[in-house]
Chains A and B, each alone.
Chain A
Amino acid sequence: KPAKKEYKDTDNITVFHDPENFNVKHPLMHEWTLWFTKPPSGKGDNWNELLKEVVTFDSVEEFWGVYVSLFSEHKNFSTFPLFYLSSALYNSSQIPYTNLALQNNITPTSELAIKSDYHLFKKGVRPEWEDPQNKHGGKWAYQFKEKRTVPIDDLWLHVLLSAIGETLENEGDGEVMGVVVNVRKGFYRLGVWTRTVGKSVPGGGDGDVAGGKGRTQEKGKDVLLGIGRRFRDVLKLRDGEQVEFSGHTDSAHSGSTRAKAKFVA
């Protein structure tokens, strides 16, 4: 075994320089918590027992430790050829890097049971409409109905990276609360939850912040549309495919998560 390298305390050693002796890590702008919704067993489960907090992290390095090790718990080689095929097609046509999927050999979202969800939310925000920080908000969402061919694992990873990398919104927008993937019988749905629906909210203060009175409705709408456009870029949607925004309470009152879209991008 090679001797441990010696570094000066003042050296900035990243994980790229030395994966076993690095002394600096890449902080995230926010702490994020990963949640998981188990599918109901059909025996009258309580929602609170189905929604579980998995882990909270605040650095890029920790994110990858979670991502790789969580999903490698679920190695299932029997589905590998199918995944490999869709992933290879996707890579060759659209994504400028290769081997990502092959390094892990895993297919997290694509192997989950129907009615499972993953949620990545800012620490302190429960991934529920009823949370005080969500109840005046809404979400951008897109449903992928071609479950057999959509590279959902890559897409979900890219959505995760856009959240922790803070590239879904501009400085000071303050809208993004979290991101979600829902596994359903006929589709996968990816979503970005926002603090508001572009309007001021009770207790939102007077400032030009999400939900504040100092932010005009016009600007509030522009901010949401900007997030919608970035989200659709992450999903690499084609012309004619649109992400849709709806308020959580609209969804709740319609008795369906497919409320009439308020905005599209």
Chain B
Amino acid sequence: ETNKPVEPAQPSAALQALRSARPIARLSDITYPSSIISPNPALNATAPEQKFKYQRDFLLQFQTVFTEKPSEDWDNKVKETVGETLDSSRPQSAR
């Protein structure tokens, strides 16, 4: 039933951007907006191209700027893999 043909949804602008974006080769090429905490240079002093370490405060900043589902069929995929796994024994009111 999950296999019935449906019109493929049009990928969002953000998802299209992600798919065509190139991986950053050198972090030194990037000038971040002034409000953004940059990747810690000390973590990447000896980093080869495209092999970067990122500290938590840098990574957390993406949470509000990139929230796109990774693919058009994502909801089905989640249903198949994670499924209905909420704790059904939990009371539905706050404890």
Question: Which chain A residues have a beta carbon within 8 Å of chain B's beta carbons?
Answer: 12, 14-17, 19-29, 36, 38-39, 52-55, 57, 59-70, 73-74, 76, 78-82, 97, 100, 103-104, 111-114, 116, 158, 161-162, 164-167, 171
Report chain B residues within 8 Å CB of A14.
30, 32
> SS class of chain A's interface: helix, strand, loop or mixed?
mixed
> SS class of chain B's interface: helix, strand, loop or mixed?
loop
Sample (29) of A-B pairs whose CB atoms are under 8 Å apart: A15-B14, A15-B66, A19-B14, A20-B13, A23-B21, A25-B18, A25-B24, A26-B24, A27-B51, A36-B81, A52-B81, A52-B82, A54-B81, A60-B59, A61-B18, A61-B66, A62-B70, A65-B68, A69-B70, A73-B75, A76-B86, A81-B94, A82-B95, A111-B86, A113-B85, A113-B89, A161-B56, A164-B59, A167-B56
Report chain A residues within 8 Å CB of B7.
none
CA distance A82 to B55 in the complex (A): 29
B65 to chain A, nearest CB (A): 5
CA distance A86 to B89 in the complex (A): 21
B87-A15 in contact (CB<8A):
no
Kindly state the interface size class of chain B when it binds its partner: 35 or more
B30-71 CB contacts (< 8 Å) to partner A: 30-33, 36, 43, 46, 50-70
Report chain B residues within 8 Å CB of A60.
54, 59, 62
Q: Do A73 and B18 form a contact, CB below 8 Å, given A68-B67, A79-B94, A161-B56? A: no
Question: Which chain B residues have a beta carbon within 8 Å of chain A's beta carbons?
Answer: 12-15, 17-18, 20-24, 29-33, 36, 43, 46, 50-70, 74-75, 77-78, 80-83, 85-90, 92-95
CA distance A39 to B84 in the complex (A): 10
A22-B17 in contact (CB<8A):
yes
Interface contact tally, CB-CB below 8 A: 168
A78-B69 in contact (CB<8A):
no
A62-B18 in contact (CB<8A):
yes
CA distance A168 to B88 in the complex (A): 35
A64-B43 in contact (CB<8A):
no
A175 to chain B, nearest CB (A): 15
Q: Do A23 and B20 form a contact, CB below 8 Å, given A114-B87, A161-B56? A: yes
> Nearest residue in B to A22 (C-beta to C-beta)?
B17
Q: Do A21 and B17 form a contact, CB below 8 Å, given A26-B54, A100-B60? A: yes
CA distance A74 to B88 in the complex (A): 12
CA distance A24 to B23 in the complex (A): 6
A54-B33 in contact (CB<8A):
no
A15-B52 in contact (CB<8A):
no
B22 to chain A, nearest CB (A): 6
A78-B93 in contact (CB<8A):
yes
CA distance A16 to B82 in the complex (A): 30
